[in-house]
Chains A and B, each alone.
Chain A
Amino acid sequence: MLVPFVQDGVRRHEPVYVNLAADRMGALVQALGPDAQTVTWSETHDWTPHPWQRLRGILDLVESQREAGDHRLRFVGECAWPEGPPELVREWERFDSVLNHALAPFPVSMVCVYDAASLSHHILDYHEVTHPWIGLQAPRSSQDFVTAHEFLQQHAADRLPLPSGVRCLEGGISPTEARQVVGAFLAEDGTPRDRVDDMIMSVSEVVTNSLLAGASSVSVACWRTQDRVVAQVDDDGPGLRDALAGYRQPSPVSQTGRGLWIARQLADLVEIVPTSSGTSVRISLFDRHPALTTTTTHP
């Protein structure tokens, strides 16, 4: 099914990028024959199993191709859907929605591949909400599609109550104190140094954002679960004004708006939930990136 889409791009001299699970990619290479040589290939687990690093990668690519004078691009992409934690599946759904929004201003055709045989019903249900068009040979507009703003508002993370027994430094925490608390916890946990730095930076940016936005009280808690370390920042501030805040890189001239974006790039998962008194931000680092699910099918 992907073959005509790729061949059409090749015929029009459009740069074509294909990012698929390894076995699916092999089958497409074979089916394309000599045309495969003009396509840029990558494997979905390598590039990249992190949703917001992937978004950055795609946008960087669009930008560099535009600078090189290529105006229209084609992408075939397959998300690295995790078998694992449902909150990471939710994050990939947000990725799909934000990606659609982020690419809208650019002359890019993108096909997102969903493997109906292996993915859960939940994921398959949502793809009609996050994509404006469904199907490839005879695309139909999706009746369920909503904009990224709507999707992010409707699909914020669930409530984020602290697990029982977790020690929380309540109220009036400064970024310096937050960095110390998180650093000490992760050092004791045995988290590798580079990941400790990722977490300290992420927490620091989130606490700083809270205070700059006007929060008068910021609390920080850290804990470990079976597969990850978590730091949570709760504040009594006004919350995010823009549901899309921190998903896309701010322009180089922008003075603000980088903190949350940096946290999303460094951490494995950043969940944000409005609460009755303010906002909860939960930042997770997985010990190993959750296993990925793919099965062999022909495109």
Chain B
Amino acid sequence: MMRKHSVVSSAAGLQPHDHISWRFNGLSHFARIAIAFFKQGIGNNQRLMYITEDPHQEDLAALGDIDELVDHGALQIASVAEVYGSDGRFQADEQLRTFTEALQQARVDGYQGLAVAADNSPLVQGSPEQVDRWMRWEYLADRFMSANPVAGLCGFNNQTVAREQLDDLATLHPIVSAGHQLPSFRLFNDGDGFRLIGSLDGLSSGQFRRVLGAAPPAEELIVDLTDTEFLNHSALIVLAELAQTGTKVEMKNADPIVKKIKDLIGLESPNLHLQYR
């Protein structure tokens, strides 16, 4: 079954495996979103994790008796520094271990999974390297959510994160919040590979190159193009560049026009494979 992808205007009803990029305005806004998200998490018997730069229990007062939720372990509250370190130089694979252990512990404690609401803005406000580091982590986090009963609400503050970075970050989430200009494409994990949705043309191929460039090194990149509305030569060239670095790139379920363009521009590489329908 295909993983859910959509544009949502409410965080209510989000389910395990859902991974959402939410652009918010102001910290109280993010808390309101997190509350709606957590209500569903409680309904799904997921352990809730609330992560912001400076989290307070009272942020979530509307959820009910916060003290009780915390005391019972149903809600864990942590700062960005506690989870990701204070210098922003976290390692993505270490981070993956942290969340894998948190999921295991939640199951041991009787929960079905995790619902993580995190305001990640402090980690994407700095240098391009810092943003790249976060993008790399989004790849791993998305795969983790795709394979495990975990829902992730990634908050990004419109007021503190640069516009281009907000756009780039949104491309790595199957679900994005409405009310902003949407990225023209999104790339997310589904099954053994990735699914690419939306459109890639000469105006978005630069972003595609940036986003793919942040991916953790991999032997193989499988991209399912079933739901790709449009893909032109400049996007194919980005994939061919990746193939040239040694990654085996496999495009599945492409439209015949994609094959036609690939043949037309003579993109041949032993690492570049295209299967079309």
Contact = CB atoms under 8 A, between A and B. Distances in A.
Interface of A: 174-176, 179, 194, 197-198, 200-201, 204-205, 208-209, 211-212, 249, 252, 255, 258-259, 262, 265-266
21 contacts: A176-B230, A179-B230, A194-B256, A194-B257, A197-B255, A201-B232, A201-B257, A205-B202, A208-B202, A208-B232, A209-B202, A211-B203, A212-B202, A212-B203, A252-B266, A259-B233, A262-B232, A262-B233, A262-B261, A265-B264, A266-B260
B203 A258 contact: no
A98 to B, nearest CB: 18
Q: What range describes how many residues of B lie at the interface?
A: 10 to 19
Interface of B: 184, 199, 201-203, 230, 232-234, 237, 255-257, 260-261, 264-266
B267 to A, nearest CB: 8
A205 B266 CA distance: 18
Contacts of A262: 232-233, 261, 264-265
Given A204-B230, A204-B232, A262-B264, A175 B203 contact: yes
A8 to B, nearest CB: 33
Given A176-B184, A252-B266, A265-B264, 5 more contacts: A197-B255, A204-B230, A259-B232, A259-B233, A262-B264
Contacts of A258: 233-234, 265
Contacts of A176: 184, 199, 201, 230
A198 B230 contact: no
A179 B199 contact: yes
A179 B199 CA distance: 10
B256 A204 contact: no
B72 to A, nearest CB: 49
Contacts of B199: 175-176, 179
Contacts of B261: 201, 262
A222 to B, nearest CB: 17
Contacts of B232: 201, 204-205, 208, 259, 262
The 5 closest A-B pairs by CB, nearest first: A208-B202, A197-B257, A175-B201, A258-B233, A208-B201
Given A200-B230, A201-B232, A258-B265, A175 B257 contact: no
A175 B198 CA distance: 13
Contact of B202 (A198, A249, A259): A259
Nearest to B233: A258
Contacts of A252: 266
B157 to A, nearest CB: 27
Nearest to B268: A252
